[in-house]
Amino acid sequence: MRAITLAVVLVTMGLTGVWAQGAALGWQALPNTPLLSVCASPSQYPQIQGAEGCSAVINDWNSGVLDSARNRLLLWGGGHNGYYGNELYALDVGTNQMLRLNAPGLPPGSFSPCMETIANGTQPNSRHTYDGMTFIDHADKLFIVSGGLACGTSDLSDDTWTFDFATMRWQNMQPAGDPLVPPGWSARQLEGAAATYDPVSRLVLVDNLFGLLSYDLTSNRYKWLSVDTGGYYGRAQLVTMIMDPDRRFAYVIGDGQVWRWNLQDLNNVPAPALISTSGGSAVVSASAPGLAWDSNARQIVGWAGGNTAYRFNGAANTWSPVTFSGGPGQANPQGTYKRFAYSAQSGVFVSVNHTNQNAYTLRLTTIGADLTPPAKPTGFTLR
C-alpha cells in the first residue's frame, strides 16, 4: 500500500524518470548513452566532419542546457575547423537515451569564407558555444549568443539565435535595443560570453566581458544593465554563469575567479563584485566548471571532475563537498559549462563529460530532503 501511495504522489508531482527508478544516492552511469553512438554519419555527411568529427560537440569548448519541458539535456556545438555539424543532441533523462534531434544543415558550397548562417540562411553555423547557451523556460526555446564560428579562422559571432521546439526551427533574432558589443569594439572581444536565464524576470542575462545585458524575448531587445565602456572588466574567458533566483545574484565562475552580479534592482545594477569563497577551490580554479541551480534544494551546485560535487552557500560564500564513488572521472579539459545540469523533474544532476563515455546522473539528497527546500532569503522584492 505504501509503494502504491508513493507512486501516486510521484506521478501527481510530475517526478518521473529517475525518481521513479529509485532514490539511491550517488553517481549512476547510464548504459548505452555515449554521444558518438548517435552522431551524424561521416559517410552520409562527409562535408561537416572537419578535423575532429562529432567528438567536437563536447570537446571544443561547448556547453549544454536543460530542456525543462521535456526533461532532457540539450547538447550543441562544434566550431573552428574541428566540426561543422550544427545538429542538436539530447540526453533524455526520463528514458536514459541519447538522441540526435535533427539533421545537420549544410552550406551552399564549402564552409569558407567564415559565415554566420547556412542552409540558405535559415540555420546558424556551428560554433564553440562557450557558455553562451541557455533555455528560455517560459517560451520553450533554446537561446544561443555569440561563439567561435566553424571555419578556418574561427571568426566570432555577435548574433543571437533561438530554436523553437514546437516548430523545430532556428531563428536569427536580430534583436533591437542596445548593441551586444559596445561602440568601438569588435565581436572578437566577445570570446567567452556567458548566459543564464532568470525565471523571476523571464529575462536572459548575458555577461559579454564588457558588462551585463538583459535580453527580453517578448520585445526581442537587449538592454545594458551595467557596462564598462573602457573595455573588459577583468574576468576570465573560460567561465560558467549561473543564476540564484532567490537571492537575486548571478555568478560567473571559473579560472580562479568568482564574480557576482547583484540583480536585486534590475534598473540599477552595480558593477560586478569579485568575491572570495572557501571550500570549493576545485570548482573555482577549473576552466568553465559545471554549475547547476538545484531548484528543489534551492542552491547552486558545482562539479569539476571526479567523484565530488560542491554545494554553494550563497549567504556565507562557502562550498561544501559531497563525495560518492563511481563518478565520471576527470572533467573534460575544454570545460564542462552547463553539461552538468539539474533535472528538477527527476531530482538528479546530469553530466555529459565525453563523447565516447556514458552519461551520468548524480543524486545528492533523498526525496524527502529534495521536496523540503530551505526558506528563501528575505530583504528584497523579487521582480
Question: Which of these, 56, 46, 168, 152, lies nearest to 106 by C-alpha position?
Answer: 46
Give CA–CA dist 302/86, Å, rounded.
Answer: 28
What's residue 16's pLDDT?
Answer: 42
| pLDDT value for 29 | 98
Separation of alpha carbons 53 and 322, rounded Å? 35
Q: Are 376 and 246 in contact (CB under 8 A)?
A: yes
State residue 184's pLDDT score: 86
The span from the CA of 302 to the CA of 228, in Å, is 28
| Cα–Cα distance for residue pair 370/347, rounded to 1 Å | 7
Taking the C-alpha atoms of residue 383 and residue 372, their distance in angstroms, rounded to an integer, is 24
Q: Which helix (H) or strand (E) holds 9?
A: helix 2-12
Give the C-alpha distances (Å, rounded to integers) separating 33 from 63, 118, 334, 361.
18, 29, 20, 12
Give the per-residue pLDDT at 367.
57
Comparing C-alpha atoms, which of 199, 203, 192 is closest to residue 225? 203
Q: How far apart are CA 208 and CA 172, in angstroms?
A: 19
- Amino acid letter for position 333: P
Is 293 within 8 Å of 242 (Cβ atoms)?
Answer: yes
Q: How far apart are CA 237 and CA 220, in angstroms?
A: 26
Q: pLDDT truncated to tens, each residue of the chain (383 aa)?
A: 333 333 333 333 344 444 444 579 999 999 999 999 999 999 999 999 999 999 999 999 999 999 999 999 999 999 999 999 999 999 999 999 999 999 999 876 677 778 899 999 999 999 999 999 999 999 999 999 999 999 888 789 999 999 999 999 999 999 999 999 988 888 888 999 999 999 999 999 999 999 999 999 999 999 999 999 778 899 999 999 999 999 999 999 999 999 999 999 999 999 999 999 999 999 999 999 999 999 999 999 999 999 999 999 999 999 999 999 999 999 999 999 999 999 999 999 999 999 999 999 999 987 544 444 444 444 434 33
Angstrom distances, CA of residue 217 to CA of 89, 103, 173, 282: 24, 26, 9, 35
Distance of CA 179 to the CA centre of its chain: 23
Beta carbons within 8 Å of 131's beta carbon, 6+ residues apart: 63, 192, 193, 194, 195, 239, 240, 241, 288, 337, 338
Give the domains, in start order, of the chain with CATH numbers: 24-370 (2.120.10.80)
**Helical spans, DSSP H, in 124-239:** none
Length of the chain as a residue count: 383
